[in-house]
Amino acid sequence: MPKQILKAHKVRLYPNEGQQIFFAKSFGCTRFIWNKMLNDKIEHYKKTKTELKNTPAHYKKEFEWLKEVDSLALANVQQNLRAAYNKFFKGSGFPRFKKKGHRDSYTTNNQKGTVAVTNNTVKLPKIGHIKAKFPAKINGLIKSATVSKDPTGKYFVSLLVETIVEPLLKTHLRIGIDLGLTDFIVLSDGSKVANPTFLSKLQNKLTREQKILTKRREVAKADQRKLSDSRNYQKQKLKVAKVYEKITNIRKDFLHKLSFTLIKNHDVIAIEDLNVKGMVKNRKLSKAISDSSWSTFTTMLNYKAEWYGKALIKVDRWYPSSKTCSGCGHLLTKAELPLQVRSWNCPSCQQKHDRDINASINILNEGLRLVTLKTVGTTGLA
């Protein structure tokens, strides 16, 4: 069955000078209203121990310039603040104040064509058509638009579009995936997928450029100059941002292609439900984990499986996938399989194992067992 989904399209914008000023104002107003509403909520709570139900409209009299920007942008701030509070009540961190120049953005909604696209422009409320470059054709109803400016000074709009996706053909193949330590992933069919090599080169470059940036900061400090006045520091800061952006783009592209290929070629995909946060604390693994963007990858697999009618099964992270022999089920002790051991022979059935491939086979088997249990559990009793 075809599925209706919301797909985000990131489009590069080329605003003229007047439009850049409008964007700057919009970023400023949304940041201001976020900080103001948050601050007032905090102060109100300190005094009354109750929550202040404030809205952007309450502030428009006192701060008339708020009327100059898209009112929906302000309404979305209220919603986002609401969402941040709800997250906080569920155990996340307390909402933070926004800093200037840090993730500048605002979101507006499409109301009967107020947001639209042509061949080479994007139309936005209160500002009209802005020159744009589209990476792909946009079909379907646009729901919302988020305008942003990145640290290198580029403008983008992310359009959330209602899209129909067709399920992919069934392949009757299944696969288990293990997070590799040297490779990005290791698959139960015996193949391994390495991290893109140019990514590690770029990461070395980033480290070098960041060291230079730190030095420039120290020089400015020693000269008692503000960082905003130090041209060398600013130039280097831009350089770092550009390398960082390149890494982010290459990594995202790599993860998108890989996740799509896996979903396309298999009907059932089993992965380990890793607690990345907990693992990053472990120094030995931290670099490998953060570099390989495991959580981004599993998120992509998750929504793509749903879009294209495939099944993604998460295996409990406490399941001993590495220490179990995929041939006979013999379980090694922790001492028998330290982290540095990459291959081993099963003492029970003598089978020779590559550590990661064996683990991915176990993940697949455990995943399939879980699916069977679930099916029996729901239909068997009826």
User: Which tokens is 112 given?
Assistant: 């009967």
SS3 at position 224: coil
| H-run or E-run covering 374 | helix 355-379
Of 140 and 327, nearer to Zn ion (C-beta) is 327
In the annotation, is 178 catalytic? yes
Picking from 350, 342, 298, the residue whose alpha carbon sits closest to that of residue 325 is 350
In the annotation, is 150 catalytic? no
DSSP structural state of residue 49: S
Q: What share of the chain is helix, strand, coil (3-state, %, to 5)?
A: 45, 20, 35
Site stretch for Zn ion (CB under 5 A), options 161-169, 280-288, 333-341, 348-356: 348-356
Counting Cα atoms < 13 Å in the Cβ hemisphere of 106 gives 25
Contact between 288 and Zn ion by CB under 5 A: the answer reads: no
Number of residues that bind Zn ion (CB under 5 A): 7
Of 79 and 350, nearer to Zn ion (C-beta) is 350
Candidate list 272, 273, 316, 336, residue with the active-site label: 272
Cβ-in-10-Å burial (0-12, 13-18, 19+) of 27 comes to buried
Of positions 312, 325, 357, 359, contacts Zn ion by CB under 5 A: 325
Of 153 and 347, nearer to Zn ion (C-beta) is 347
CB of residue 345 to Zn ion, shortest distance in Å: 9
**CA-to-CA distance for 219 and 235, rounded, in angstroms?**
14
Contact between 348 and Zn ion by CB under 5 A: the answer reads: yes
**CA-to-CA distance for 85 and 37, rounded, in angstroms?**
12
SS (H, E, C) 74-106: HHHHHHHHHHHHHHHHCCCCCCCCCCCCCCEEE
In the annotation, is 267 catalytic? no
Of positions 150, 210, 330, 370, contacts Zn ion by CB under 5 A: 330
CB of residue 350 to Zn ion, shortest distance in Å: 7
Candidate list 104, 209, 356, 366, residue with the active-site label: 356
CB of residue 34 to Zn ion, shortest distance in Å: 58
Of 219 and 349, nearer to Zn ion (C-beta) is 349
Of 126 and 330, nearer to Zn ion (C-beta) is 330
Q: What angle do CA 110, 112, 118 make, to 5 degrees?
A: 75
Of 170 and 334, nearer to Zn ion (C-beta) is 334
CB of residue 366 to Zn ion, shortest distance in Å: 16
Contact between 327 and Zn ion by CB under 5 A: the answer reads: yes
Contact between 346 and Zn ion by CB under 5 A: the answer reads: yes
Of positions 24, 349, 373, 376, contacts Zn ion by CB under 5 A: 349
**CA-to-CA distance for 10 and 136, rounded, in angstroms?**
9
Contact between 328 and Zn ion by CB under 5 A: the answer reads: yes
Q: Indicate which residues carry an active-site annotation.
A: 178, 272, 356
- Footprint on this chain of Zn ion (rule: CB under 5 A): 325, 327-328, 330, 346, 348-349
